[in-house]
Structure 1
Amino acid sequence: MQTYDKSHNSELLARVKQGDNQALDELVRLNLGLVKSLALRFRDRSLCGGRAVEYEDLVQIGTIGMIKAARSYDPSYGTAFSTYAVPLIIGEIRRFLRDDGLLKVGRMTKKIGADIARRREEFIAEHGREPHVSELAELCGLPEAEIVYAMEAVGTVRSLSEVTGDDDSLTLESTLAEESGEIEFATDKIALHQAIEELPELWQKIIHLRFERELSQQQTGRILGLSQVKISREEKKILNRLRSAL
């Protein structure tokens, strides 16, 4: 198994910038595990009328995102290449699935996307410019990675490479903070999003109140018209379902 080497990645990226296609091929090969791990998350969820998309197709589409990331990455962004590449790979896969009618956007993601769009319009009206992802994250009270995920899922932006703000060199990918640098963190977060979106509406509400708003079981029960005992039981069912899904 090939060991991930940041310094070798940096060397290859520098050569890619100079138009070295051999370096690009090697970079893609060394980072193919990232593409595969992301494609795997979509494989069993990409269903439409009983029709599933081939895993190999998802890997090929995701590789396009990896190539785009390699050609557009700039180390001055201060973000690890793997962190930078994740939203581009996801974006290519999601666009492919969405365009073919193979991917449905969940209710929760749509709701987050609508909130982002509203706050974006308010920000533009007040400041006369596009907000940066970090500013949207602060306004919505969400992590930057979640903002990008929702925007890409509901098509709030045309592309993750779309320029934002006043700086022509600043794109959505470049504003993503490096969250621990672990690829597994990013892919697990995506899988968790998708698993939650497939839960019954009541369970999604419980998750929102308990884990996003951090309310107690008693407070959650009052809002939903249920007893604390009922919330506790449902919570155990939810966690068991999510564990099996992940």
Structure 2
Amino acid sequence: MSTIVINELKSESLHLLREYQKSPSADIRNQLVQLNFGLVRKEAHHWINQCTESYEDLLQVGSLGLIRAIERFDMSKGHAFSSFAIPYIRGEIQHYLRDKGSPIRIPRRWQALQHQATCVNRELQAKLHRQPTDSEVALALQIPLSEWQEIRLACRNRAPLSLDAPMRDEDEGSTCLGEIIPDPRYKSFQLAQEDQIRLQQALIQLEKRTREVLEFVFLHDLTQKETAERLGISAVTVSRRVKKGLKLLKNSMLGLPSEVDEAE
């Protein structure tokens, strides 16, 4: 699809979103669904190889998420609609898969590589006298770095995410993910769909470096020292970013005003 066509579709979508915000109607909403249905197809395609549900079912469920995004999108916030809608579409599909009890399955090849990586990690750690980087592990496995990172993420996400899981802060001790979720009902289980969407939206609003620091420390389970080495910044800067990022996320989840996250 040419750039001109894409820009025309975006322009038409923005026009319809303005009209829908002024005067909601089923006709305008349906037009918006048709224009943005590619977002649903993309997300359904991502999940089709990880569950037992049909592609058509995932499209229908994802469309519900797209409709919810259309109804809740606020143009005054300045967000791109696609960035706003994807978490809703993904959340709707994930919620559906949990309700259906369809297990998220990891391809056999990835399972074999994950098992092989355990041995590779051990060998590299003995050789380098430190924890190997993702790039070094991927090189040893003879696979692209992006694929290794997907394998790690898939294996990590296979188990339910506990809100009681500790989150390290080297200066102020530990906290847990549940502390940034306002509703105390969600204990020791996956993030509720609404909170998951809100957390993803809050992450999008963070300055890029702060978001990277939080992802390395809490998603990839690196120490703050390892994160500093990966990003080429000081450990003190990482520590500041962790505290600042968690504070911004917590305020955003609670709907409290917060200072702007600026680059240092």
**TM-score normalized by structure 1?**
0.49
Structure ranking higher on relative contact order (CA contacts 8 Å, 6+ apart): 1
Q: TM-score, structure 2 length as denominator?
A: 0.46
